[in-house]
């Protein structure tokens, strides 16, 4: 049967919804074998129409439980990039304003970590909830964090493995179907997608980011879901940290009132979501609402409630032990200049390798500068938190070259390149 589908595609015929249902059912039942890999290779090599991407998304969604709600449910997702803990701010922020938000999360894919990995670094936190627990969480806290381990979109996890093993992570049709399936399965009706492009993103090219936005808009409109896509570049990380636990600290700082670039961008995403849900809402009123939620501490209180409701240990935030580094070293600027380039991709690869080798989330990087900043010789540009002395030896030379300085005053970059409503 799978062979017939491959031949049909090679013959130039369009695959139907039932063709994709058959393929996904096969993958669910038999796992990854040569035939199904060949099927996905064929899609990868020959491309897919937007309807085929929609059908694949629908089949992934239908591989597990699909939630339905009467009320408005928000969702947010990123296509994958380095150093972005914004969801940890946006979820409690909107929940504290009385809106309901579900966050279906994915685990790390390629060099990027996912929200599932950040939440996993919170002791005892569980993103594996059954239907009753999901409703309880929503009723109690207005929010719910769900991982791949739930019975929602179970095939997406298998597809992650297949795409990683066979070099298909960057295929934009697979990215669109993977993400939109998760958003549809959660019963969301207002969705924001952050489409990142650049070397520190899974999507590399701007033109692919634009094509991806069109695919998301198409899939969501066919499923009566309101959506807004933001195309953002990865020249600059949204947060100032890289690593699972340290990224939680980054978000926590914003929830506790720190004014940073992460706060600015999380506010923008929250406002775009609010305005997408209600097109009569005035943008500046929406900004006032989110600023009050952060400044009053109500978003932070909501964060503690959400974590507590899903079994997480909130003491680690109160006594600041969420991130427990072993050793740290500061890297300094050897000359004065403007920050011209930050290689966050290389940093993410280092942190990913060390976390995996040490089975430890207490490894990470804090970036002390942003693009365009002027630094003096001797200023700290980044701090590296590591476990074993040999880890520093191994990566010292690379880390020394991740922040490049230039004599020319560089323009501050615009991270959000385009908003597509
Ligand atoms: N995030 C997902 O959930 N899926 C992808 O394919 C990429 C990023």
What average pLDDT does the segment 383-394 reach?
Answer: 96
pLDDT > 70 in the chain, percent? 100
pLDDT score at 131 = 83
Calpha distance 139→417 (Å, rounded): 36
pLDDT score at 166 = 97
Largest CA distance in the chain: 65
Centroid of ligand 1 to alpha carbon of 357 (angstroms): 23
Place of tokens 């791949």: 148
The closest residue, in CA terms, to atom 3 on ligand 1 is 179
What average pLDDT does the segment 48-68 reach?
Answer: 97
The larger pLDDT score, comparing residue 52 to residue 112, is at 52
Calpha distance 413→83 (Å, rounded): 17
Calpha distance 346→76 (Å, rounded): 26
The closest residue, in CA terms, to atom 1 on ligand 1 is 79
What average pLDDT does the segment 323-351 reach?
Answer: 96
The closest residue, in CA terms, to atom 8 on ligand 1 is 79
Centroid of ligand 1 to alpha carbon of 175 (angstroms): 5
Ligand 1 atom index nearest CA of 79: 8
Residue among 55, 105, 98, 118 nearest 75 (CA): 105
What average pLDDT does the segment 153-178 reach?
Answer: 97
Beta bridge mates, 112: 109
What average pLDDT does the segment 51-80 reach?
Answer: 96
CA dist list (Å): 273 to 7, 101, 199, 266: 42, 11, 27, 11
pLDDT at 412 over 90: no
What average pLDDT does the segment 206-227 reach?
Answer: 98
Instruction: For residue 407, give the DSSP letter.
Output: S
The closest residue, in CA terms, to atom 6 on ligand 1 is 175
Beta bridge mates, 231: 195, 418
pLDDT score at 12 = 98
The larger pLDDT score, comparing residue 304 to residue 411, is at 304
Q: pLDDT grade, residue 302 (50/70/90)?
A: very high
Pocket of ligand 1 (CB under 6 A): 79-80, 106, 109, 174-175, 178-179, 182, 202
Q: To test ligand 1's pocket by mutation, which of 106, 170, 186 has the most ligand atoms within 8 angstroms of CB?
A: 106
Calpha distance 175→191 (Å, rounded): 16
Centroid of ligand 1 to alpha carbon of 356 (angstroms): 20
pLDDT digits (tens, 9 = 90+) for 348-381: 999 999 998 888 999 999 999 999 999 999 999 9
pLDDT digits (tens, 9 = 90+) for 102-143: 999 888 888 899 898 999 999 999 999 888 899 999 999 999
pLDDT digits (tens, 9 = 90+) for 189-205: 999 999 999 999 999 99
Residue among 224, 202, 197, 32 nearest 106 (CA): 202
What average pLDDT does the segment 1-7 reach?
Answer: 97
pLDDT score at 149 = 67
pLDDT score at 108 = 85
| Average per-residue pLDDT for the chain | 96
Residue among 167, 181, 23, 21 nearest 106 (CA): 181
Centroid of ligand 1 to alpha carbon of 408 (angstroms): 37
Q: To test ligand 1's pocket by mutation, which of 112, 172, 175 has the most ligand atoms within 8 angstroms of CB?
A: 175
Centroid of ligand 1 to alpha carbon of 170 (angstroms): 9
What average pLDDT does the segment 15-25 reach?
Answer: 98
């Amino acid at each position: 049967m799978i062979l017939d589908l491959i031949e049909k595609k090679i013959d130039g015929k369009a695959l139907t919804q039932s063709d994709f249902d058959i393929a996904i059912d096969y993958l669910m039942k038999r796992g990854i074998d040569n035939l199904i890999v060949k099927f996905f290779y064929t899609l990868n090599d020959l491309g897919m129409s937007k309807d085929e991407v929609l059908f694949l998304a629908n089949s992934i969604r239908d591989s597990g439980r699909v939630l339905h709600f009467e009320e408005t449910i928000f969702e947010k997702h990123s296509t994958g990039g380095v150093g972005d803990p914004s969801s940890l701010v946006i979820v409690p922020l909107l929940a504290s304003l009385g809106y309901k938000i579900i966050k279906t999360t994915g685990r790390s894919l390629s060099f990027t970590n996912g929200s599932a990995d950040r939440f996993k670094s919170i002791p005892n936190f569980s993103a594996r909830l059954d239907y009753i627990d999901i409703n309880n969480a929503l009723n109690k806290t207005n929010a719910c964090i769900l991982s791949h381990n739930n019975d929602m979109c179970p095939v997406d996890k298998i597809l992650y493995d297949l795409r990683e093993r066979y070099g298909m992570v960057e295929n934009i049709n697979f990215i669109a179907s993977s993400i939109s399936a998760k958003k549809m399965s959660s019963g969301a009706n207002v969705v924001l997608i952050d489409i990142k492009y650049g070397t520190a993103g899974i999507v590399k090219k701007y033109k692919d980011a634009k094509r991806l936005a069109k695919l998301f808009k198409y899939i969501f409109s066919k499923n009566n879901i309101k959506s807004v896509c933001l195309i953002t570049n990865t020249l600059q990380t949204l947060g100032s940290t890289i690593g699972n636990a340290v990224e939680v600290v980054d978000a926590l700082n914003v929830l506790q009132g720190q004014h940073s670039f992460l706060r600015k961008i999380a506010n923008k995403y929250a406002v775009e979501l609010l305005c997408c849900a209600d097109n009569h809402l005035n943008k500046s009123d929406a900004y006032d609402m989110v600023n009050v939620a952060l400044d009053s501490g109500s978003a932070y209180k909501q964060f503690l409630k959400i974590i507590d409701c899903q079994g997480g240990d909130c003491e680690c935030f109160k006594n600041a032990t969420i991130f427990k580094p072993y050793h740290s070293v500061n890297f300094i600027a050897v000359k004065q200049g403007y920050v011209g380039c930050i290689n966050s991709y290389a940093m993410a690869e280092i942190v990913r390798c060390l976390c995996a080798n040490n089975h430890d989330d207490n490894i990470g990087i804090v970036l002390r500068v942003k693009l365009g900043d002027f630094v003096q010789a001797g200023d700290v540009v980044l701090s590296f938190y590591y476990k074993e002395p040999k880890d520093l030896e191994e990566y010292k030379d690379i880390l020394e070259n991740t922040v490049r300085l230039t004599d020319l005053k560089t323009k501050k970059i615009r991270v959000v390149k385009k908003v597509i409503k």
